[in-house]
Every structure is written in C-alpha cells, then in structure tokens.
Amino acid sequence: MQASRIAALQGMPIFGGIRADVLAAFVEAAATVALAQGEFFFREGDKAESMFVLESGEVAILKQWAGEPHLLGQLGAGDCFGEMALLDLFPRSASVLALVPCTAIELSTARLYKLYETHLEQFALIQMNIARELSRRLRAADERLFRTQIGADDPKAAWAY
C-alpha cells in the first residue's frame, strides 16, 4: 500500500519531483483523515496549521457571504487544499465540505518544518510546487473576475480549480 501511495503522491503537482524516500517519511508521520459525506475538513475562519491531499472522494470549496455558503469550486482525488496555511498561517479563507466519503493526508506546518530541517532541497521544491499551484489558481480566479467584469456569458467557463 505504501508504494502505491507514494507513486500516487509523486503524480500530484504539489509533490512533483519529490524523492520517494522523502515522501515515505513525510507520509508516515502525517495523519490520514477520513470523513463521511457532509462533514467538513475545516470551516472558513478556523485556525490553519495544515493542508490536505485528497486521496479519494470529492469536496466542495465554500465561501460565506451574507450568511450563505457559495460554491467556489470542487476538487477530486489528487487535488490539494488548505495549502495557503503552509505559507501564510492566516485563518482558513474558505470551508471544505466532503461531498462523498473522503480520505486525505493531512500535512502540518510542523511536519513541513521537520522536512526543512532534514531535506532542505526537497522542502524548497515542495514550497515551489505550492507556489505554482497557488499561481495557477490565481490565474484562473483572475480570468473569472475578468469575464464577470466584461459580462461574458459564462464566468465559470474559465474555472480550472
């Protein structure tokens, strides 16, 4: 199971180029979270100290406005969420709801710091991969905002989350 899990992680953008031995140690120390449909990984405003890599299932990213949740997007197996917590340590900017039963690996800021202490080059590569993912999402958000501002027919057409 461990070898297939490591191979799956290496195929995900955030872990691209990370050595198998580093991922094995990283995952071994990480928590695995299993949620039922309708449960939240976290809610907007919660303290943020980890990110999640979705191994199975599908989640909705929700943002509150005027007391109502609004769907920002959906993610599936192989996607990550909560990664901003590893960079800025601010409270959660959105909620993540399990749409179906889900399993995810939880990677804490503390665990990432251990990686910094032991494998600086691999730590830097993960940080760079996170930055690339955030940049990709920012570009998609910019495109959606632009389409909305110009009155394009389908502002969600550019959603690439």
Q: Could you report the per-residue pLDDT of 107-150, keeping only the tens digit for each? A: 888 888 888 999 999 999 999 999 998 899 889 889 988 998 99
Return the amino acid letter for 86.
Answer: L
pTM, two decimals, is: 0.82
Is the per-residue pLDDT at 155 higher than 60? no
Tell the residue number behind the tokens 């919660």, with chain if given: 46
Phi-psi map region of 31: left, alpha, beta (phi>0 left; psi -120 to 50 alpha)? beta
Instruction: Identify the pLDDT of residue 9.
Output: 84
Residues 11-26 have a mean pLDDT of 88
Using alpha carbons, select from 60, 64, 56 the residue that is nearest to residue 99: 60
- Give 54 or 86, the one with higher predicted confidence: 54
